Structure 1
Amino acid sequence: MLRTLRQWLALLVVTSAIVLGGCLPQQDSQSSAASPSPTQTASAPVTPASSLQPSGIPRLEGKATVAIVVKGGTITAELDGTNAPITAGNFVDLVQRGVYNGLVFHRVVREPQPFVVQGGDPQSKNPNFPPEQLGTGSFNDPATGQPRYVPLEIMPVGAKTPVYHQTLDAAGVTAKPKLTHKRGALAMARSQPPDSASSQFYITLANVNFLDGNYAVFGYVTEGMETVDKIQQGDRIESAKVVKGLENLKTDAKKG
């Protein structure tokens, strides 16, 4: 019992690493739709106003495949624009721009048990940037000169549209997400506000389903998990390329 409690407390600490290592917006927390009353439950997913799809952010309409090279090994991942169109679209757009080339995996958590490897802070491209400050950067969109933040986007089982701007609990949704945190999941790191993800992402080293419904999974590693398992803190992404499905990236799509 004591061992189980210690493991739970340790997992709570490393889970906070995803939050604290996420992108920290400079502005106040973005507003979100009001949560349903605590007494509201649903046997099927509810469809709150926050499920409306945001516009002005690249979208992935369908699938795409990316290849990420680390220490000479290739990690191939399939991104799911059907269930995470905004989150996957943002990632594909950043890969296509070359944003991830040369960036560091600044956080690797394997103890007390395998958890995640996390990278994607644009500040890490500078080899002289203090390592202890990594995890606070975001992607600045050259078109606007401002950081680009991505709304939290989670598609519940049985739903036709994702829930935006809220965790599933906050939205009163009892269904599980379609994209879960199984081993090899790609998901977006963020700070405390739900809509604070930008470029930082993580790959799960094990099934960590206690994160389901709170963070946006947008794809899975299909080949190269042995490379992911060898990543150490400080390893750089040599290259990241879209190898399939780039035609599914829509940068001017409007919400329907």
Structure 2
Amino acid sequence: MRRLAVVLCLMAGPATASGLEIDVAGAANGTIKIDLFEDIAPKHVEQITALAADGVYNDVVFHRVIEGFMAQTGDVQNGKLGADMRLAGTGGSDRPDLEAEFSDTPFERGVVGMARAQDPNSANSQFFIMFDEGAFLNGEYTVVGKVTEGMDVVDAIKLGEGPNGAVIGEPDVMKAVRVTD
């Protein structure tokens, strides 16, 4: 009977050991809860949980938001509320960039992925939450988790403009980000 329980557990999907709670303020108001997939992206999960535990995600804006695609945040260097928003999305953190941890987990609504530059091994602190399915990202970006509560908050995040989705004016902000068990 124990063997069956273990098999069923493995078939249920990626295991999670930690998560994030993100309090959002702006056009969207509320809390987003994310389960993090330590089993498929352990280095990336360790990086973002360490940054969250240090408080550096607090007051970071959603700088790139594309309708029907995703909302991006996490630039702890250039994306703080009140900073020059023209630079938001160009920075990272004081931690090293990460080697890609690609998986078979598909990019679908609510999936959280790590943003990166053209180099697959350049993810650092920025991440994005999918509004919808994005199969073209599969195997190209690291999946780190999935929203379990608060997709209504994600859907309400202020949209950006133009092809790159830059948010103009007052962007929504991650007021507080907490690591959960």
Question: What is the TM-score with the length of structure 2 in the denominator?
Answer: 0.80
Please, which of 46, 49, 64 is the counterpart of residue 92 of structure 1? 49
CA contact (8 A) 2:21 2:178 kept: yes
**CA deviation profile, 1:68-87 (whole Å, cap 9, x unmatched):** 01024000000010111111
- Structure 2 counterparts to residues 1-256 of structure 1, below 5 A: 63-71=17-25, 72-110=29-67, 114-122=68-76, 123-125=78-80, 127=82, 129-141=83-95, 148-155=96-103, 177=104, 179-232=105-158, 233=167, 234-244=171-181
CA distance in 2, matches of 1:96, 1:75: 16
In the aligned structure 1, how far is the partner of 2:118 from the partner of 2:97?
13
Report how many residues are paired. Answer: 152
SS at match of 2:79: helix
Letter in 2 for 1:64: S
* 1:28-74 deviation digits (Å, cap 9, x = unpaired): xxxxxxxxxxxxxxxxxxxxxxxxxxxxxxxxx95212100102400
SS at match of 1:125: coil
Deviation at 1:181, TM superposition (A): 0.4
- Write out the 4+ residue segments of structure 1 that deviate beyond 2 Å after TM superposition: none
Aligned equivalents of 1:205, 1:73: Cα separation in 2: 17
* Runs of at least 5 residues in structure 2 that lack an aligned partner in the other structure: 1-14, 159-166
Q: Note the C-alpha offset of 1:210.
A: 1.3
* RMSD of equivalent CA atoms: 1.4
- Deviation digits for residues 90-125 of structure 1 (CA, Å, limit 9, x no counterpart): 111111111110001000100xxx000001112121
Q: CA 1:180/1:98 → structure 2, altered by over 3 Å: closer, same or farther?
A: same
Larger Rg: 1
- Deviation (angstroms), 1:130: 2.4
Please give the per-residue CA displacement for 1:164-218, whole angstroms capped at 9, x wherever unaligned: xxxxxxxxxxxxx1x2101001111100111111101000000111110000011
**Distance 1:74-1:135 versus aligned 2 partners, 3 A rule:** same
Query: Is 2:16–2:35's contact at 8 Å kept on the other side of the alignment?
Result: no
